[in-house]
Amino acid sequence: MDSKAAVTPPEQNPFYASSGQSGKTYASVVAAAAAASKDGGAVSSAKEIDSSPEPGDSDKGGADALSAAEKSSLEVGADVKASDEDLASPVAASSLSPESEAGEENKKVEGDGESKESVDVAEKQGGIVDEKVSDEAGAPEAAPEAVSEEKSGEDGVGITEEENKKVGEGVDGESRLENGSVDVGEKEASTDGVVGGADKEEEEEKSSLEVGADEKVSNEAASLLSEEPEAVSEKATGEDDVGVTQEEDKKVEEAVSEKLTGEDKLGVTEEENKKVEEDVDDVDDNEQSGKTYASVVAVSASKDGEAVSSEKEFASSPEAVSGDSDKGIAADKEVKTSLEVGADEKVSDEAGSPETASLLSPEPEVVSEKTTEENKKVEEGVDDVEVNAQSGKTYASVAEETVNDVEDDGELNLENKSVDVTEKQASTEVMLNENPEMENESKAAGVEEEAVVSKNNDEVTKGGETNEEERKVDVDDKIDDVAEEGSVELTNKVVDSSTIESVHVDVAKPGVAVVGDVEGIEEVKLNADGERLEVANKFDQLGHNDGDGLEVESNKSVEAVGEKLTSGADSIADSSKLEFADRSAAEAEDVAAEKLSEAATVEPDEPKVGGSEEELHVSESLTVGSVDAREDSEPAAELQSEPNSNPEAKEVSEGNIAEEGGDKLPVADIVSREFSLEGKEVEHEPSGGGVAVVDRSDSEEETEEMIFGSSEAARQFLAELEKASSGIEAHSDEANISNNMSDRIDGQIVTDSEEDVDTEDEGEEKMFDSEALAALLKAATGGGSSEGGNFTITSQDGTKLFSMDRPAGLSSSFKPLKPAAAPRPRPNIFSNPNVTVDESEINLSEEEKQKLEKLQSLRVKFLRLLQRLGQSAEDSIAAQVLYRIALLAGRQTGQLFSLDAAKKKAVEYEAEGNEELNFSLNILVLGKAGVGKSATINSILGNQKASTDAFGLSTNSVREVSETVGGIKITFIDTPGLKPAAMDQSANSKMLSSVKKVMKRCPPDIVLYVDRLDTQNRDLNNLPLLRTVTASLGASIWKNAIVTLTHAASAPPDGPSGAPLSYDVFVAQCSHIVQQSIGQAVGDLRLMNPSLMNPVSLVENHPLCRKNREGVKVLPNGQTWRPQLLLLCYSLKVLSEANALLKPQEPLDQRKLFGFRVRSPPLPYLLSSLLQSRAHPKLPTDQGGDSVDSDIEIDDVSDTEQEDGDEDEYDQLPPFKPLRKTQLAKLSKEQRKAYLEEYDYRVKLLQKKQWREELKRMREMKKNGKKVGENEFGYPGEEEDPENGAPAAVPVPLPDMVLPPSFDSDNSAYRYRFLEPTSQLLTRPVLDTHGWDHDCGYDGVNAEYSLAIASRFPATATVQTTKDKKEFNIHLDSSVSAKHGESGSTMAGFDIQNVGKQLAYVVRGETKFKNLKKNKTTLGGSVTFLGENIATGVKLEDQISLGKRFVLVGSTGTMRSQGDAAYGANLEVRLKEADFPIGQDQHSLGLSLVKWRGDLALGGNLQSQVSVGRNSKIALRAGLNNKMSGQITLRTSSSDQLQIALTAILPIAMSIYKMLRPEGATDKYSMY
C-alpha cells in the first residue's frame, strides 16, 4: 500500500479531482514536514522514518479500504533529506492516526502513548490509522466519496512513506471525513498532516505539495495547511493548491492563493512559511463531491540541528497539522472546507493570517447559522467559508507565524453537511511551526461541528482566531449529536511542538466526533516561520514554557469530551470556558478534571509536550513541528472522538519533530516541501487529517520532520523528551483548553526560538528561566481568557463558543498570544508578542484587573488550603472549584492569573510559611437531636470542646465553638437538636431565632445539616423541621449547606433480596433522600436538578471507627472523611467568595455555578404586553383637548346627522308613563311583555338620542377646539384614536362597572367605589373577572390620574395594586403622548409591573399614523429592565376598519434579550353591533402566534358578548392554544334569577370539551 500511496501522490491530483466528484469525504493526509535536524539526523530521522512508514501502512490500509484510493491526496513533501522524509512520514502517520483514532478512538491513542519509540509509535499509529482508515473506508465505502477520501489519505501516506526518506517536510493532509452518509451517517474525519518538508521534488510531483526547501520549513507547512483544507473539499483542487508551491494542480484560490503564493515562495525558495489557503473554490469542487475538511499542515523547520533537541521540537511542531475533512455523505451536500493556510513569512504573512482569521470568523458565524439550520450544503470556497457556514460548519484556520513577526494562521473550516442523516464536519486547523531558524507554529484549530441530525452544532469554530496563533478551534460538537450517538468526541488536540498551541487547537475539539458521523474539525495552525518567523517565536515560547516546566502536561485528554458532548452543548461550552480559563497546562488539567466531573469525563491525556519542548529549545523549530503533530493527532481524535489518542499522537509527533529539528535546523527546504505537500494534502485531505509538521532545517535538507502521523510516535518522542517535560498536554476536550495550550505553546516557542537561535543550551536554560515561565503563564492565561475564543491566547471564545460571533476577535486575539514571550535577543520576534501582550493587558480595565487579582489570590489561597489538607488539586472537588474560579475569571484572565502561577505561589507561600493565610470558616451546624452534631464538631476540631451525651440534651443552647485547625480558624455554631414532630416546630422556630441572632454576629460560611446515615427512610419525617429551618433562616441557608451524614460507618441494611446493599448504593440512596427532602422543603427545583443538590459528606464520629495507618478515620469506602469534609467546606467558601467578588459583574450564585441557567426574562410575556395596543392619552376637556374618549369614527358623526330623523322619532313618540312596580305586578303576562317591549324600545331610542347629542356636542367642540386649539394649543380636536374606544384593549384592568340602579348592600362594588367627578383622579376597585372561586372578586385597587403636562401633552398614570391570598402585585402604567398634526401621535410610557418575583421596568414608545382613512399604523418599541436583564422589543401594528362594524387589527413584533428572541404576531377581528355603543353586543376573534426558543405557540381567542332578553347578558370567552390547553369562561349576568341556571353550561361545556379531547390539556401546558 505504501508504495501505492507513494505512487498515487503524483496522480493524486487527478484523483482528487475525481474523488471530489465522486466522494465527498476523505481525509487528507498531511505529511508533516520535519525539520531536518541534522544531528539527530540519524536518530531522529530514523525514528521519523519509522513512523512514516507506519503511516504509510496505515494509509495503505486506508487506501485498500478505499478501494479507489483515488486520491492520495497526501503527498508528503519529500524533503531534501532524510530528515525531511522522516518528518513527512511521521506526519502522515500522525494524520492518519488521528483518524484512526477517531475511528478507534481511545485504543489507538493509548497505543500511541505507550509506544515510545517513534518508529514503533509510528507504526502503531499507522496501524491504528489503518484500522481507522479501514473503518472509515468501510463507511466510506458505503459512501463512495468517503472511500475516495480515504484513499487519498492513504495515498498521502504512502507517499510519505516513500518519501519518507526523502521528505524533509512533513506534510499533513488532514482531511476529515465526514461523511455524511446519509443513512449511515458516518463520518470520517481525516486529517492530514501536511508534510512540511518536501524533500524531494520527485515526490513533490506526487504530492503536489512539497514543502519548500528545508530552510523554511515553516513555509512549507503553511502551504500544506492551506492545501489540505481545500483538498478535502475539492481534494483535487485543494491539492493542487497545495501544490502551489509545487504548483501542481491546485487550484488554490484566492485568499488561499495569496497565502499559497506566499507559501510557494516559501516552499520553493524556502523563504518562509507560506500558508496556503484554499478556498472556497476548492471547496466548491469538493462540495460537489465531497464534503469537507481541511487539512492543515504546519511544518516547521527548526534549524539547527541539534539533532535531538531539534528533532524534538519538530515533533512538537507537527502539531500543526490537523486536517479535517468532512464529508457529506450525500453527494448532495457538499462540504467545503475552506482551508486557509496562512503562511506567513513576515509581517505580510501575518497580515494574511489575520485575514484568514477574519475569514474564519465569518465562518464561525456561519457555523452558528448552520447549526441552527443544520445541514446545509455547503459549497464555497473561501467565500465558501461563508458558504460553508451555511452548509458546513467547520473549517480550520491556520495561522502561521514567521519568525520575524509573521505568523499566519490558516484556518480551515470544514463543514460538512450531512445530507440526510448526519453529517459532520471536521475542520482542523493546523498550524505549523517551522523553526528552522525560527519557528513557526501554526496552530490549527479545527472545529467541527456536526450538523447532523441533531443539528445544533455549536459553533465551535471559533477558532479561527487568528492572528498568528491560531485560532482555536472551536469545535462545537453538538452535544446533541454526541448524545445521540454517544459519540466520542474528538478532540483533537493538536499538539504543538509547542505543544500547547496545536494541542489546543485540536483540543478545541470542536471536533466532536459524533459517533460515527461527526467529524471533527480541527484547525491547525501553522506557523511557519521562515527562518525567522514569528512562528518561531511562538515555538520558542512554547519551548520556554515547557522548559519552565510548565509542564503543561496539563493536557488532558479530551476523552471526556465525548461525554461532554453528550452532556450537551452547554456543557461543552462550559468546559471550553474552563479550559480557557486555565491556560496553564495545569489548569487545563484541572479543567479536564472538572469537565470530567461535570459532564463526563475528560480524559487527561496529554502528552507531555513540555518535555519535548525543552529539548526543543534547541531546535525550537522542531518543537513547532511537534505541535503540529499534536494537532494532527487531534484531528484524528476528532474524527473519532477520542482526544486522548490524539494528544498522545501529538506528543509523539512533537517528540519527533523535536528530534528532527535538532538535526537540521533550518527547515526552509522542508517548508517548501511542505507546501508541496499541502497540495497533496489537499488531495489527501480526505484521508486523514494527519497533520504533519514539517520542520526543516535550513541548513540541511535533512530537516527533520516530525511526523505526527503517528501520534504514538510523537508520544514516544515526547517521552524521550520528557526531560523537558513540560509538555503540554492538556488537551482538553474542549477547545478552550486547546487554545490555552496553544497559546502557551506559542509563547514558549517564541522564547525558545530566540534562545535556540543562539545556542541550544542557552535556549534550554532560558526555557527554564523564570521569564520564560512567566511568559508561558501569561500565554496560558491569555488563552484562558480568550476562552471565547478566537484567540489562542487571550481570546475567550470559549465562553463565546456559544455565541456566534467570534470572528471579529480572532485577529486581535492572536496577538495576545504571542506576547507572552519574554524579551529576547531577537527584538523583532518579540515585538509583536509584546505588543499584543500589552494590548491584552490594556484591555483589562483597572477594575477587572483588581478582580482578577483577587480571584487569583483566592485561587492561591485555595491551593494552599489544599496543600494543608494534603489534597491534590486534581481531587475532583478541588478541580471543580478551580474550574469554577477559572470560569469566573472568564474572559479576562491574563497570564498573570494562571493556575500554574497560582500553584507555584501556593507552594512558595506554604514553603515559606510566613505568609498569613487569611482564611477562616464559620460553620453553622443544624440537625435533629441525637444525630451527632456536637460529636461531629468534636471530631473535626479533634477535641471534646462540645459536650456530647447520647441520651440527654447535651447542647441546650446555641453556642459557638472556635478552634484553629491547620492554621485555619474554624468557628462552629453548635445548636440544640431540632425536633422532628410537626407539633414541635414552634419550639424549633424559637431555637432557630436564637440561631439567627448568633448568625448576625457571626455569619456562617457553611451550614452543615447533620443527619444520620443509617436512619434514612422515605417517611418524610424531616420535612417539618426542614421547612421550619427554611422558614426561619431563609431558603438561602441551603445555598452553602452541606448534608452531613453521621454514622457513616454503619453497615448497609439488607436489600430487598436479603443481601446487604453495597455501601455506595446505600450512601447514594440516603444522600438522595436527604437531598430530596431538603429540596422539597425549600420547594424549588432542586428536586429536578441534581446539580443543585447540596453536596453530601459522610462523617463517622464513633471512637471505634476504623482508622488507616496515619490514624485518620476511614469510612468503609476508604474515604477519609475529615479532610474531605473540610475540603468541601473550604471549597464552598472559596467559591462563594469568588462569586461575591464578581457579583456586580456576574452575579453567580451557587446555582449558576452548578450550571443553572440564568433566568432569562419571559420574553413571550413581555412581547405580548408590547403587542397590546394602547390608547394614547388625550387632553382633558377642560384644557381644551378632546375629552371624548370615543372611538367614534367621523363616519359615525356624519351618520348621526343623517339620522336626525331617528332622533326625532323619540320626541315624536307619545308620552309614556312608566309603571310602578306594584302596577306592573298587576299586569297580565302579555301586558307585561308588551309593556316591557315598549319600554325597552323607548329606552333605546332615548339612549340613541343622548348619544347623538353627545356626538354633536363633541363635533362642535372640535370645531371650536380647532379654532381655539389652533390658536392656543395647536391641538386639533380631530379624533386621533378611533381605535382607542371601548373595544380596544384599554390598559385599565377594570371597566367601570355598571352599578345597580339603587344602592344594594349586597353589591360589594359600593364598598370600594369612590368617584370624584371633578378630579382627574379616579379610584376604583379591581375585580378579578376571571376568578370564580372568590366570593368577591375584588382584590385590588386601581387609581388613575390624567393630566396635561405643559398644557399640551396629555399624560395618564395608572397604578393598580392587587393582593390575593398569595401574592401582591403592583402595576404602574404611565404614558405621555404628543400629537403631530391630524394624523399622528406619539406616546412614551413607563411601566412598572411584577414579572414573577421581580419588578420589570418598561420604557416604551410608539407612534401612530393614520395613513389612510381607514387604516392606522403604529410603530413602537420598548426596553424592559428585568432584574439584570434588558429586553428590547419592536412592534408594528396596523388597524383597518372595514365598514362600521368590522375592525381588523394586526400586529407583529419581536423581543430580544441576551441573544434570545421571541417573535410574535396577533391578528384580531372585532365585530360590534350596528348601533354600538347603545347595543353592547360585540365579538372579537383573535389569533396570536409566538415563537420562542424554537417553540411555536399558537393561540386563538374568542370573546363574545351578547344580550339575552332584556335582563341578561352572556359573555363568552374562550381560548385555545396549540398545546391543546385552553380556557372557556362563560359569564352571564342577569337580573332574572332563572338564568343563573345557565351557569351549569360551564361544567357541561367543560366535560364536552374533555370528551372531544380526551387527552385534554392535562399535562401539556404551554410554556407560555
Partner 1 sequence: MGSIVREWVGFQQFPAATQEKLIEFFAKLKQKDMNSLTIVVMGKGGVGKSSTVNSLIGEQVVRVSPFQAESLRPVIVSRTMGGFTINIIDTPGLVEAGYVNHQALELIKGFLVNRTIDVLLYVDRLDVYRVDELDKQVVQAITQTFGKEIWCKTLLVLTHAQFSPPDDLSYETFSFKRSDSLLKTIRAGSKMGKQQFEDSAIEVVYAENSGRCSKNDKEEKALPNGEAWIPNLVKAITDVATNQKKAIHVDKKMVDGSYSDDKGKKLIPLIIAAQYFVVKTIQGAIRNDIKISGKPL
Interface residue list for partner 1 (CB under 8 A): 928-930, 935, 948-951, 977, 979-985, 1012, 1014-1025, 1050-1056, 1058-1061, 1066, 1069-1070, 1073, 1101-1104
d(CA 1252, CA 855): 75
| Least distance between partner 1 and beta carbon 1053 (Å) | 4
Residue 403 per-residue DSSP state: B
Of 381 and 930, the one with the shorter C-beta distance to partner 1 is 930
Of 115 and 938, the one with the shorter C-beta distance to partner 1 is 938
d(CA 354, CA 362): 12
C-alpha cell at 884: 469554577
| Least distance between partner 1 and beta carbon 1006 (Å) | 24
Of 1072 and 1517, the one with the shorter C-beta distance to partner 1 is 1072
| Least distance between partner 1 and beta carbon 527 (Å) | 60
d(CA 978, CA 73): 74
For residue 734, give the 3-state DSSP assignment: coil
| Least distance between partner 1 and beta carbon 1057 (Å) | 9
In sequence order, the 6+-apart residues with CB closer than 8 A to the CB of 976 are 929, 953, 955, 956, 957, 958, 991
d(CA 79, CA 48): 12
In sequence order, the 6+-apart residues with CB closer than 8 A to the CB of 1420 are 1170, 1404, 1405, 1406, 1407, 1434, 1435, 1436, 1437, 1453
Per DSSP, the residues of 110-150 read: HHHHH--SHHHHHHHHHHHHHHHHHHHHHHHHHSHHHHHHH
**Integer CA distances (angstroms), 281 to 230, 240, 400, 679, in order:** 8, 12, 22, 14
Helical ranges in 374-418 per DSSP H: 382-391
C-alpha cell at 310: 531539534
Of 1060 and 1300, the one with the shorter C-beta distance to partner 1 is 1060
Of 792 and 934, the one with the shorter C-beta distance to partner 1 is 934
| Least distance between partner 1 and beta carbon 1115 (Å) | 16
Of 1019 and 1316, the one with the shorter C-beta distance to partner 1 is 1019
Of 3 and 1017, the one with the shorter C-beta distance to partner 1 is 1017
Strands 1495-1508 and 442-446: unpaired
d(CA 1143, CA 543): 38
In single-letter form, the type of residue at position 1005 comes to D
Instruction: Provide φ and ψ at 442, rounded to 5°.
Output: -135, 150
Map grid coordinates 393614520 to a residue. 1410
Cis preceding linkage at 1004, omega within 30: no
Of 422 and 936, the one with the shorter C-beta distance to partner 1 is 936
| Least distance between partner 1 and beta carbon 1101 (Å) | 7
Helical ranges in 1273-1350 per DSSP H: 1309-1312
| Least distance between partner 1 and beta carbon 819 (Å) | 58
Of 1056 and 1558, the one with the shorter C-beta distance to partner 1 is 1056
Of 879 and 1105, the one with the shorter C-beta distance to partner 1 is 1105
For 1193-1202, the CB contacts below 8 A with 24+ separation are: 1193/1279, 1193/1282, 1193/1441, 1193/1444, 1194/1279, 1195/1444, 1196/1255, 1196/1444, 1197/1255, 1197/1258, 1197/1259, 1199/1444, 1200/1251, 1200/1252, 1200/1255, 1200/1256
CB 366 within 8 A of CB 372: no
Of 951 and 1230, the one with the shorter C-beta distance to partner 1 is 951
| Least distance between partner 1 and beta carbon 1004 (Å) | 24
| Least distance between partner 1 and beta carbon 977 (Å) | 7
| Least distance between partner 1 and beta carbon 929 (Å) | 5
Of 1023 and 1388, the one with the shorter C-beta distance to partner 1 is 1023
How far from chain centre, in Å, is Cα 470? 20
Helices (H) and strands (E) in the chain, counts: 49, 39
Backbone φ/ψ region at 967: left (φ over 0), alpha (ψ -120 to 50), beta = left
Of 1024 and 1499, the one with the shorter C-beta distance to partner 1 is 1024
Of 851 and 1047, the one with the shorter C-beta distance to partner 1 is 1047
| Least distance between partner 1 and beta carbon 1047 (Å) | 8
Instruction: Provide φ and ψ at 380, rounded to 5°.
Output: 150, 175
| Least distance between partner 1 and beta carbon 1019 (Å) | 4
| Least distance between partner 1 and beta carbon 1066 (Å) | 7
| Least distance between partner 1 and beta carbon 801 (Å) | 41
Of 1060 and 1147, the one with the shorter C-beta distance to partner 1 is 1060
C-alpha cell at 484: 445521540
Of 1103 and 1317, the one with the shorter C-beta distance to partner 1 is 1103
Of 1022 and 1173, the one with the shorter C-beta distance to partner 1 is 1022
Map grid coordinates 433480596 to a residue. 1057
C-alpha cell at 1156: 443553572
| Least distance between partner 1 and beta carbon 1054 (Å) | 5
* CA nearest neighbour of 365 among 389, 334, 392, 340: 389
Per DSSP, the residues of 227-285 read: HHHHHHHHTHHHHHHHHHHH-SS----HHHHHHHHHHHIIIII--S--B----HHHHHH
Of 646 and 934, the one with the shorter C-beta distance to partner 1 is 934
| Least distance between partner 1 and beta carbon 1095 (Å) | 20
| Least distance between partner 1 and beta carbon 1102 (Å) | 6
| Least distance between partner 1 and beta carbon 1050 (Å) | 8
C-alpha cell at 817: 498570544
C-alpha cell at 33: 514536514
